[in-house]
Amino acid sequence: MSNAYHPPSALFCRQCGHALERRIPDDGDSKLRGVCPACATIHYDNPLCVVGTVPTWGATGEQVLLCQRNIEPRKGKWTLPAGFLELGETTAAGAARETDEEAGASIEMGELFTLMNVARVGQVHFYYRARLLSEHFNPGPESMQARLFTESEIPWDELAFSTVRQTLRRYFDDRRQGRFGFHTEDIV
Amino acid sequence: MSNAYHPPSALFCRQCGHALERRIPDDGDSKLRGVCPACATIHYDNPLCVVGTVPTWGATGEQVLLCQRNIEPRKGKWTLPAGFLELGETTAAGAARETDEEAGASIEMGELFTLMNVARVGQVHFYYRARLLSEHFNPGPESMQARLFTESEIPWDELAFSTVRQTLRRYFDDRRQGRFGFHTEDIV
């Protein structure tokens, strides 16, 4: 996850570079937007999608792969591999890419497991279950290390994001019950 | 759904108005971005979330509410109420807002029903099931009319978007089986 916060609203027009006005557009909209007085382009601030995986290892998925972050925010904290969805990719493809980039892990992609709204920071988080095909990892520059944890070994107080904590809790709860569901949650 | 396509990439810096360079940033990124040579701001193009509902009426949900679009694209075609997720709202809250704005319908929000990737246009679509609390609607300026349809009455060839068509198909399939699931799909 490279830049974890939403960018500030635009001050200048993306199309012509003119300084924007902050006002309600004349097209029936009801919200303040950056409107260009020169070329009329309207600038919307939209939530971002964050996509990642819960990569598991072992006959019953008893170990989960976490990455120790090598970048801010939360440098040194542990996270599931995840990052911003890029234009042109599906949420599953983005989750696979981030797993490769951050952990260098080979996976077989599974089902969507959690969908979490973090409205406070304008994000929607998607985590897919994934089966690791090897226990050899090759973490990229965004990670200090990548390693496997059993439930009791998880550094619960050293996790980078609440969506990671909640997704891991759900994973081990479902695993105990022998059945993996799909979970939605609003993080406040 | 007000503007159904993704905006073009920025040409000028949102923070200082300087003309952008299109290049791979020096921060370990691997993709072309708009980079400001004056203030170093990096500009990302991210997928957008579209959120809506399947508003149903009748003892067994035998009728679905559709809106006839009064705006481009697909003016005159029929759609489920849906639009772009706004900053600061959850996907369910956004779906409720769009249902109110486009159909003026009172609903009790249900579960997330479909999640569809439309990577070609950089969108992720979320549809929630919703129970109509009244059959009186008050469509907003984006809709020519809002009315109820049984499965056989649905104007299948006059639907505005393929995610609407697929969500309606799934809805009536699940209804026949007496059990509503959660469905993911990639629209190509």
> Tens digits of per-residue pLDDT, B139-184?
999 999 999 999 999 999 999 999 999 999 999 999 999 999 999 9
Q: A101-138 burial, b for 16+ CB within 10 Å, e for fewer?
A: bbbbbbbebbebbbbbbbbeebbbbbbbbbbbeeeebe
| Residue B1: per-residue pLDDT | 43
| Residue A82: per-residue pLDDT | 97
- Residues A179, A177: Cα–Cα separation, whole Å: 6
The yes-or-no verdict on residue A42 having pLDDT over 60 is yes
* Cβ within 8 Å, pair A15-B31: no
* Cβ within 8 Å, pair A14-B19: no
**What's the whole-model pTM score?**
0.94
Place of tokens 């772009």: B84
Q: What percent of chain B has pLDDT over 70?
A: 97
Contacts A–B by Cβ distance under 8 A:
120
- Residues B178, B60: Cα–Cα separation, whole Å: 9
| Residue B5: per-residue pLDDT | 60
Mean pLDDT of chain B: 95
| Residue A5: per-residue pLDDT | 60
**What are the tokens at B19?**
């003309």
* Cβ within 8 Å, pair A2-B86: no
| Residue B4: per-residue pLDDT | 46
Q: Are A3 and A86 in contact (CB under 8 A)?
A: no
Question: If 0-12 CB within 10 Å is exposed, 13-18 middle and 19+ buried, where does residue B71 land?
Answer: middle
Q: Nearest CA to A94 among A103, A85, A82?
A: A85
Distance from CA of A175 to the nearest CA of B (A): 20
Chain A interface, best mutation among B11, B89, B90, B180, by max A CB count within 10 A: B90
Per-residue pLDDT, averaged over B114-121, amounts to 97
| Residue A1: per-residue pLDDT | 44
Higher local confidence (pLDDT), A6 or A57: A57
Higher local confidence (pLDDT), A175 or B7: A175
| Residue B129: per-residue pLDDT | 98
For β-strands B183-186 and B107-118, DSSP reports them as parallel
